Amino acid sequence: MRVRVEQTALPGIGMRHDLLTESGRRLGVVSHRNGRRDLVLYDPDDPDSCQHDIPLTDDEAEALADILGASLMLGQLSGLREQAAGLLTEQIAIPASSKYVNRRLGDTKARTRTSASIVAVLRQGEVIVSPDPAFRFDAGDVVVVVGTRKGLDGVTAILADSDPDG
């Protein structure tokens, strides 16, 4: 990590992490000992004082972390696409009629059959990064797949398959 994150103990309260962005804004997170956390944004005119103090619930913090992480991941994926010619990234929605709804990722045998990898699943605004073979699909899940054109088309076909006997 090239960004310098300052860590400061707040005796009796918890811990504060803050960093200075390239654009010159300071922002941080106050982690309370009881598990509560606040996102704090500092005043540009008075860098010692926080202008906004936004309490985040567990779910909100997780959602925010996922959004930030996901934008980063997708950015890295598109970078990857540029590096390796012929390698593509696609988001494929699982149709409700798919036979893999409620079944495990491992059951699709997608990688062995198409050489394309499922690297993430987007579910209700959340990102599940690197789902393991035991991961169960839901209707409406969107999978992020990396592979060749042929491989991606193969995964699309597998996931669209509605015949229970394969």
Q: Which of 7, 21, 23, 49 binds other proteins (CB under 8 A)?
A: 49
Of 10-18, 65-73, 110-118, 124-132, which segment contacts other proteins by CB under 8 A? 10-18
- Burial class for 44, CB neighbours closer than 10 Å (0-12, 13-18, 19+): exposed
Q: How far is the CB of 66 from other proteins (least distance, A)?
A: 23
Q: Does 8 bind other proteins (CB under 8 A)?
A: yes
Strand partners, 85: none
Q: Which of 1, 4, 11, 24 binds other proteins (CB under 8 A)?
A: 11
d(CA 144, CA 125): 13
Q: Which of 3, 5, 7, 13 binds other proteins (CB under 8 A)?
A: 13
Q: Does 10 bind other proteins (CB under 8 A)?
A: yes
Q: Does 57 bind other proteins (CB under 8 A)?
A: no
- The residue count of the chain comes to 166
Q: Which of 3, 7, 21, 42 binds other proteins (CB under 8 A)?
A: 42
3-state secondary structure of 90: strand
d(CA 109, CA 140): 20
Q: How far is the CB of 14 from other proteins (least distance, A)?
A: 9
Q: Does 143 bind other proteins (CB under 8 A)?
A: no
Torsion, Cα of 151, 153, 158, 160 (10° steps): 160
